Chains A and B, each alone.
Chain A
Amino acid sequence: MGETLGWWGVPLAILGGAIRVGTPLLWVSLGETVTEKSGRINLGLEGTLLMGAMTAFAVSLHSGNPWWGIVAAAAVGVLFGLLHGALCSLSRVNDTAMGIALMLAGSGLAFWLGKPLIQPSAPDLPMIALGAWSDSPAVRAALSINPLFVIGVVLAFAVHWVLGRTRVGLRLRVVGDSENAARAFGLSPSAYRIAATAFGGACAGVGGASLSLVYPGAWSEALSSGQGVMAVALVIFARWDPRRCILAGLLFGGASAISPALQAMGYTQGYYLFAALPYVLTLALLIGLGKPGPSDGAPGELSLNR
């Protein structure tokens, strides 16, 4: 795409890439925000992401309809979320350790079940052509928006509204801030946490679907490289605000898109260093933010920095 637009192709490709690469980050961090709002942390979303990607790819191939793939990925995500949520509700079971265990178990299972999936691609999701006004194929390519991003943005605002304005959202926040207060209100912390983790799992599953169906748009074992974990860090950056997850997804998606965009321009020096940019940025952000406190929206029961 570099030929027609010259160096202007870079910011354009980064914008397009920010949306493509940011979509899974948006979905995973959105789900994790809800999980963490209930006072749990699920570090296992990397495994859920890979399971979702594999499932979406397989189901889309067999049914011929990518939307069924997305539904199936969400369902698998719910199962993994329920598993994490239920097991962590047992006494003496540590949510961080369980997350690490499920990360390894989920990725192993996805690799096993995904072995026969050697097809190059599954049926495509229909794209939303925001660039139809332009004659330039580069502009069109960059502004062809995948529907999962749009749904994710809508969902982010919906989740924000549910958490802030509805009874169930208030209860979830009470459970996440103080287990004792929740018990005093007669709420069952475990039930809310299991439900919130299941929701987080569903979102991570859809995030995986966007990896295998939209970008890169195929199934491979190298599909996810830490997006599931980065998303957990992005929740801190988003200060547990679902709307800021959109910004976080775009920012870090953009950082991840720099390296392929430069490579497409023929600039290949330092490819791997640019590829490390999102991790460096995420780490820098954790360092800059320091320990998030209640004024940052951090749920009181969260073991993240306790």
Chain B
Amino acid sequence: MNTLAAPALAVPAAPLAARLRVLAASLLPAGAALGVTVLLFSAAVALAGFDPFEVWGLIVRGGFGDAFAWQNTLQRAAPLILTGLAVALPAQAGRVIIGAEGALVLGGLAAAALGLQLVAAGPWVVWPVMALAGAAAGGLWIGFVGWLRERREVNETIASLLMSFIAIALFNQMVETVLRDPASLNKPSTQPLPDALLLPAMPGLDVHWGLGVGIVVALIAWAVVKLTPLGLSLRVAGGNPRAALGVGLPVAWLTIGACAAGGACAGLAGAVEVAAVHGAANASLIAGYGYSGILIAFAARFSPLGVVPVAILVGGIAASGSLLQRRLGLPDAAVLVLLGIAFVALIACETLRHRSFGGRRG
């Protein structure tokens, strides 16, 4: 599916006015999508009998209103940055992967299983091992999808989602049988990590180190994609595979590598969730972060750095869900509708790109 817009390879030096025109042209679709989203969601909320102004006010307050809201938001943003990268990195190679949810739960499972074996070794052994185990599990899982695409021409979008359902089944089977803690009665879980092995909060913040890990990984991904020859090769392979083959680039391996790197990010998200939030692998890991990551990556136009602010925004909207439910009795699924409308509007408003400002064609 080579239908994704190729990321621009180089920005030509241009006079200020022209650059402003290009900037405006690139902001137009996003602005239009935002307007459409606000209008449609307000209408939906009003139809359901709620006051749209009150709802928007609560979304802003619940996501970003005070220190507690920010803590909740950033806590959610940590895995969302990584699942956003799980979609954004394969997209550099022109691949649409939507199965990050499965890579995340398997990453969490691998991290919990290995971490529990090494409890005696202390946190500075356990944390890196958990991170590596999570990243390896997720990387292999989505790397396999990339391999299927390159070697067997299996559509990666469908395959990654099927693999996601298989991953969740595997996860449930393991958590309910061999890895199950007999003490977990109602909610099958692996054995919990001792409190000393839980990821601590970052200094000055009430948010665990998973956020720092996410931001650092995003920075590294951005640097590799934008600044290194490897990243350039990857973007050439994604933008014009024929040309890439012509100059002798290993297109298939670049693509598989990008898919594996994305999967590794999702697996790392699972490991972080286990080590920082849940303390064990259980069904709480299946929280839809993988699906939100799709929206985040598209909204960031697959920029590894752009994923960070969008993940914080989406994390804030998700965090406001419980406040909406408590205050207004608005079902928490309303947040999913808001994100869904935003996603549809975002894709639809792509039609405005490079339309009215006469800028470069994408």
List residues of A whose CB falls within 8 A of some B CB. 43, 47, 83, 87, 90-94, 96-98, 100-102, 104-109, 111-112, 115, 225-226, 229-230, 232-233, 270-273, 275-276, 279-280, 282-283, 286-287, 290-291, 303-306
User: Which A residues are in CB contact (< 8 Å) with B166?
Assistant: 276, 279-280, 283
A204 to chain B, nearest CB (A): 16
B157 within 8 A of A: yes
Whether the pair A96, B96 counts as a contact (CB closer than 8 A) is: yes
Whether the pair B161, A229 counts as a contact (CB closer than 8 A) is: yes
Q: Which of A98, A279, A305 touches B169 (beta carbons < 8 Å)? A: A279
Q: How far is the CA of A96 from the CA of B162 in the complex (A)?
A: 16
Whether the pair A87, B176 counts as a contact (CB closer than 8 A) is: no
User: Which B residues are in CB contact (< 8 Å) with A272?
Assistant: 169-170, 172-173, 176
Given contact pairs A272-B169, A279-B162, A93 touches B347 in the complex (Cβ within 8 A): yes
Whether the pair A306, B172 counts as a contact (CB closer than 8 A) is: no
**B106-161 interface (Cβ within 8 A of A):** 148, 152-155, 157-159, 161
Whether the pair B153, A94 counts as a contact (CB closer than 8 A) is: no
Q: Which of A226, A290, A303 touches B162 (beta carbons < 8 Å)? A: A226
B14 to chain A, nearest CB (A): 23
Sample of 9 more A-B contacts, CB < 8 Å, known A109-B333, A272-B169, A286-B159: A90-B348, A104-B340, A105-B340, A108-B336, A108-B340, A109-B337, A226-B162, A276-B169, A286-B154
Identity of the chain A residue whose Cβ is nearest the Cβ of B154 in the assembled complex: A286
B184-225 contact mask (Cβ, 8 Å, vs A): 1 or 0: 000000000000000000000000000000000000000000
Whether the pair A98, B347 counts as a contact (CB closer than 8 A) is: yes
Whether the pair B336, A111 counts as a contact (CB closer than 8 A) is: yes
Q: How far is the CA of A1 from the CA of B3 in the complex (A)?
A: 51
Q: Which of B1, B155, B165, B170 touches A226 (beta carbons < 8 Å)? A: B165
11 contacts between A and B (CB under 8 A): A100-B96, A101-B340, A101-B343, A104-B294, A112-B337, A115-B333, A273-B169, A279-B162, A282-B162, A290-B152, A305-B1
B295 within 8 A of A: yes
Q: How far is the CA of A91 from the CA of B347 in the complex (A)?
A: 11
Q: How far is the CA of A101 from the CA of B158 in the complex (A)?
A: 14
List 4 A-B pairs, minimum CB-CB distance, nearest first.
Answer: A105-B340, A108-B336, A276-B169, A111-B333
Whether the pair A104, B331 counts as a contact (CB closer than 8 A) is: no
The interface on chain B, measured as residues whose beta carbon lies within 8 A of the other chain's beta carbons, has a size of 48
Whether the pair B165, A97 counts as a contact (CB closer than 8 A) is: no
Whether the pair B3, A108 counts as a contact (CB closer than 8 A) is: no
Whether the pair B158, A232 counts as a contact (CB closer than 8 A) is: yes
Whether the pair B169, A233 counts as a contact (CB closer than 8 A) is: no
List residues of B whose CB falls within 8 A of some A CB. 1-4, 48, 96, 98, 148, 152-155, 157-159, 161-163, 165-166, 169-170, 172-173, 176, 291, 294-295, 298, 331, 333-341, 343-344, 346-348, 350-351, 353, 362
In the complex, how many residue pairs between chain A and chain B have their CB atoms under 8 Å apart? 145
Given contact pairs A98-B344, A109-B337, A115-B333, A92 touches B350 in the complex (Cβ within 8 A): yes
Given contact pairs A104-B336, A104-B340, A283-B163, A305 touches B347 in the complex (Cβ within 8 A): no
Whether the pair B336, A107 counts as a contact (CB closer than 8 A) is: yes
* Secondary structure dominating the interface of A: helix
Whether the pair A97, B340 counts as a contact (CB closer than 8 A) is: no
Given contact pairs A97-B298, A279-B169, A290 touches B154 in the complex (Cβ within 8 A): yes
Whether the pair A101, B172 counts as a contact (CB closer than 8 A) is: no
B295 to chain A, nearest CB (A): 7
Q: How far is the CA of A83 from the CA of B163 in the complex (A)?
A: 28
Q: Which of B3, B98, B165 touches A100 (beta carbons < 8 Å)? A: B98
Given contact pairs A92-B353, A94-B3, A290-B152, A101 touches B162 in the complex (Cβ within 8 A): no
Q: How far is the CA of A83 from the CA of B170 in the complex (A)?
A: 36
Q: How far is the CA of A232 from the CA of B155 in the complex (A)?
A: 11
Q: How far is the CA of A105 from the CA of B362 in the complex (A)?
A: 27
User: Which B residues are in CB contact (< 8 Å) with A102?
Assistant: 340, 344
Given contact pairs A94-B4, A306-B1, A101 touches B346 in the complex (Cβ within 8 A): yes
B151 to chain A, nearest CB (A): 9
Q: How far is the CA of A11 from the CA of B350 in the complex (A)?
A: 51
Whether the pair B341, A105 counts as a contact (CB closer than 8 A) is: yes
Identity of the chain A residue whose Cβ is nearest the Cβ of B158 in the assembled complex: A233
Given contact pairs A104-B339, A112-B336, A225-B165, A43 touches B157 in the complex (Cβ within 8 A): yes
Identity of the chain B residue whose Cβ is nearest the Cβ of A230 in the assembled complex: B162
Q: How far is the CA of A32 from the CA of B171 in the complex (A)?
A: 31
User: Which B residues are in CB contact (< 8 Å) with A96?
Assistant: 1, 3, 96, 157
Identity of the chain B residue whose Cβ is nearest the Cβ of A107 in the assembled complex: B336
